[in-house]
Structure 1
């Protein structure tokens, strides 16, 4: 027997994120949608009598309510609501609930930011028209997954966004970033409206303090990066940089498809179990990011967006990504799908943008969304794509493909973390060898064609060609690849070169494994890509090693 489901999509989130120029503004641009979603669910329950058991996305139970109370500022409610409905409830009733929630939100926003001289009805209409909320109703066959049945229609509705024909003033922008404070040359007050909004919620719902507040100060990019102090415990160039990260789970559709069964007895409970795990993961991720010194913008579903220092004491943003991956795997370990006769798990992909603290936040957001998209386009997904831009304008990029493999971080990422721990700190093994770090990268560029020839040579001894090239180019550091000497007998420079070459080989072999038609041209391109990525690794090690420029 078919059952009737309602699907609701709420937006426009990305468009609103693009309005802001501060971390707190970015958070506010996301949170108002999570806040709206939560209030709409409450309205559906209270006014229409929709039971908690009817909700699939997000699931409603005591465990989830505890997570919401413990983690109120994470933006836990994402942009979709799906629930089973009584056939007697018409869509017009749903629309009435949506209309009321729009009115309530616009009133809350405008009470804070509207001046006495402004037309409140005009401002309310602007915000209500700005919020894009679409509803569909569909019958779903027993045993089928309602999320998969409704999502294609919701995706289409999201694309058909309406627009405001005459926009004299963007009242939502004024709420997110108080323009009066900028005109008065008081940029520190630009997020005061959001602060007042959160304080009102804190008071009425008895919640913990907003995580962007430190005493009465709203945390800025300078605070997060460590520019204005030394709370992050570093004295290197990294204090002038921040990382913006967008992470997302892979193969969600395949996992949801695997829940379907002909009898229809398990699919609904499995969906609810998965939705609960999404809340659990969001809470864990929020806590890990906070502990590291970052600030979560949103953590809804399996999707994260946060801003963080590139280094905090002995940890780096790359260690944090490894930690978040571990939490992801622990939360979703019980969910899998069959592909080519094998059981497979969900993967973890992310885009990372590392940039100077004065870099425009909007541009960083565009870049990080692009990096996540690059990760998702890799056939295996499960990839971390990093874009690193120095204040000088020099840019680097690297992808860690198959980031998580066989229940552990893949070999390439592990080797990179080991290098970072040993050579990417001022008191590390190459503390007085900044020039050496620079010279290695320079020689890779100057002798690129020589390295390319060595890497693409056929035969079992091809590794030896590359070894010989490095030995000849760095003959001032004896012992490189000398198997008769121990690590302790070699210079630190020789040990470092060996580890860089090992990592270069691993990257190259990985790229070769992804090529179906191995020709001289494709192998050369794989070698070139590998050299560029190892140059990025060296650049990152040098970046983490450099002292702060006063």
Structure 2
């Protein structure tokens, strides 16, 4: 049986040139736009990926690019020749709308495709993807055509922006002038699609997950840059517009929806980079991508056992000071405690000094904490002893969630001893950051 596979790029190279949110959105959306227009000409074919049986994916008014960077469909006679013609027509139409030479677009775009024989008992995705991956390695972009194409898609009056409410002011996507860039990617997706008969169900669920994620991000006060397949990229404030959820609650909602759709076979990891609004956008984007890599490759034992399903986050303050850690979502007790602690966001008077004092006590008595942390009563006695003044009574609810969090961190046998303190300190710094210390 014959199948045609196609991949498009260079996506990340294009994203790195964006300096504003709208430029970043346009740099991503243009690839989805091209893929949509090509796929639309083959709608009558049987697509393995993406899922196109829901016509809403072709909605030209959508503010999210839902087509990811490759497609595979069951080919009919002469479809490869027809594909070449369709690609040429789509690029010709795009050149007219962007008002640049057609050859400049062709010189920049990385469109790799081919026709492949797949046996009845073989998995089309697992069979064809390695060929497409290899083709991507041998592509070089013409710098001259690249400059023209990049300049054209950055135009704030582009045709594909019509009727779409794309935010271009980072202040509107921030909390106290801090914004988060978030990359998300599925874990163990090859296992989810290893059975050929499950592919259509997986493709449909990925489409529904992308739609749901965009709705959650928008409700939170963020903006989706890209949602296709299991890949997700978005901006969001650190605190929701309703002021009752943190960026981690949003990641939890998105991740839980993903996990439920795939019955725990596949999970979702996140890279979260929090930065001041004047921080270079391309650096924030790169940091988030690197953090996602750390989230997916986090080793927690000397025997190199890997635990995915993580959130790796970094916060870089306006002063340049930064802190970073990884939290594992797969340990429900640990992650629930983390969410409870980081969501304890009611501001009290003199909270900065109070949190600084807690940080100092934990740092000073790390050896003691290491010995008593698995005993919740001893932890409670420790904090009661050092914070027993009458002015600390109002912080009792805070101490409760702090003690619960420290206790669950130390119960997790996968986390190395030195990393436990780092996780506690970074989480405490995040709480302090949310409550007002953003220098």
Structure 2 counterpart SS, 1:315: coil
Corresponding residue for residue 439 of structure 1: 357
Structure 2 counterpart SS, 1:388: strand
Corresponding residue for residue 531 of structure 1: 421
Is 2:296 the counterpart of 1:373?
A: no
Is 2:306 the counterpart of 1:384?
A: no
1:289 to 217, 224, 229: 217
Structure 1 counterpart SS, 2:269: strand
User: Does the 8 Å contact 2:351/2:435 carry over to 1?
Assistant: no
Greater Rg over alpha carbons, structure: 1
Using the TM superposition, give the Cα deviation of residue 69 of structure 1 relative to its aligned residue in structure 2, in angstroms: 3.0
Measure, in 2, the Cα distance between the counterparts of 1:503 and 1:127: 53
Is 2:321 the counterpart of 1:394?
A: yes
User: Does the 8 Å contact 2:109/2:141 carry over to 1?
Assistant: no
Corresponding residue for residue 231 of structure 1: none
Between stretches 12-21 and 323-332, larger displacement belongs to 323-332
2:404 to 493, 502, 506: 502
TM-score w.r.t. the length of structure 2 is 0.89
Corresponding residue for residue 124 of structure 1: 102
Is 2:197 the counterpart of 1:248?
A: no
Is 2:254 the counterpart of 1:324?
A: yes
Using the TM superposition, give the Cα deviation of residue 210 of structure 1 relative to its aligned residue in structure 2, in angstroms: 0.7
Structure 1 counterpart SS, 2:319: coil
Using the TM superposition, give the Cα deviation of residue 68 of structure 1 relative to its aligned residue in structure 2, in angstroms: 4.1
Structure 2 counterpart SS, 1:167: helix
Is 2:245 the counterpart of 1:315?
A: yes
User: Does the 8 Å contact 1:211/1:295 carry over to 2?
Assistant: no
Using the TM superposition, give the Cα deviation of residue 419 of structure 1 relative to its aligned residue in structure 2, in angstroms: 2.0
User: Does the 8 Å contact 2:246/2:343 carry over to 1?
Assistant: no
Is 2:265 the counterpart of 1:358?
A: no
Following TM superposition, where does structure 1 have runs of at least 4 consecutive aligned residues deviating by more than 4 angstroms? 470-474, 492-495
Measure, in 2, the Cα distance between the counterparts of 1:11 and 1:153: 15
Corresponding residue for residue 49 of structure 2: 57
Post-superposition Cα deviations, 1:156-183, rounded to whole Å, max 9, x if no partner, equal 112222221x5287122222334xxxxx
Q: 1:444 to 1:466 in 2, by over 3 A?
A: farther
Structure 2 counterpart SS, 1:239: coil
Q: 1:69 to 1:94 in 2, by over 3 A?
A: closer
Using the TM superposition, give the Cα deviation of residue 145 of structure 1 relative to its aligned residue in structure 2, in angstroms: 1.2
Corresponding residue for residue 82 of structure 1: 72
Measure, in 1, the Cα distance between the counterparts of 2:128 and 2:342: 45
Q: 1:210 to 1:404 in 2, by over 3 A?
A: farther
Using the TM superposition, give the Cα deviation of residue 193 of structure 1 relative to its aligned residue in structure 2, in angstroms: 2.7
Using the TM superposition, give the Cα deviation of residue 74 of structure 1 relative to its aligned residue in structure 2, in angstroms: 1.2
User: Does the 8 Å contact 1:43/1:97 carry over to 2?
Assistant: yes
Measure, in 1, the Cα distance between the counterparts of 2:252 and 2:369: 33
TM-score w.r.t. the length of structure 1 is 0.72
Q: 1:360 to 1:466 in 2, by over 3 A?
A: farther
Is 2:55 the counterpart of 1:97?
A: no
Post-superposition Cα deviations, 1:464-501, rounded to whole Å, max 9, x if no partner, equal 59947x8568734239xxxxxxxx9x834465445424
User: Does the 8 Å contact 2:223/2:236 carry over to 1?
Assistant: yes
Using the TM superposition, give the Cα deviation of residue 26 of structure 1 relative to its aligned residue in structure 2, in angstroms: 0.7
Is 2:164 the counterpart of 1:210?
A: yes
Is 2:335 the counterpart of 1:418?
A: no
Q: 1:332 to 1:57 in 2, by over 3 A?
A: same
Corresponding residue for residue 170 of structure 1: 147
Using the TM superposition, give the Cα deviation of residue 375 of structure 1 relative to its aligned residue in structure 2, in angstroms: 1.1
Post-superposition Cα deviations, 1:188-216, rounded to whole Å, max 9, x if no partner, equal xxxx233x4322xxxxxxxxx3131xxxx
Measure, in 2, the Cα distance between the counterparts of 1:421 and 1:359: 25
User: Does the 8 Å contact 1:452/1:528 carry over to 2?
Assistant: no
Corresponding residue for residue 114 of structure 2: 136
Structure 2 counterpart SS, 1:32: helix
User: Does the 8 Å contact 2:311/2:327 carry over to 1?
Assistant: yes
Corresponding residue for residue 302 of structure 2: none
User: Does the 8 Å contact 1:477/1:494 carry over to 2?
Assistant: no
Gaps of 5+ in 2: 299-305
Structure 1 counterpart SS, 2:121: coil
User: Does the 8 Å contact 1:55/1:83 carry over to 2?
Assistant: yes
Between stretches 22-31 and 137-146, larger displacement belongs to 137-146
Corresponding residue for residue 366 of structure 2: 451
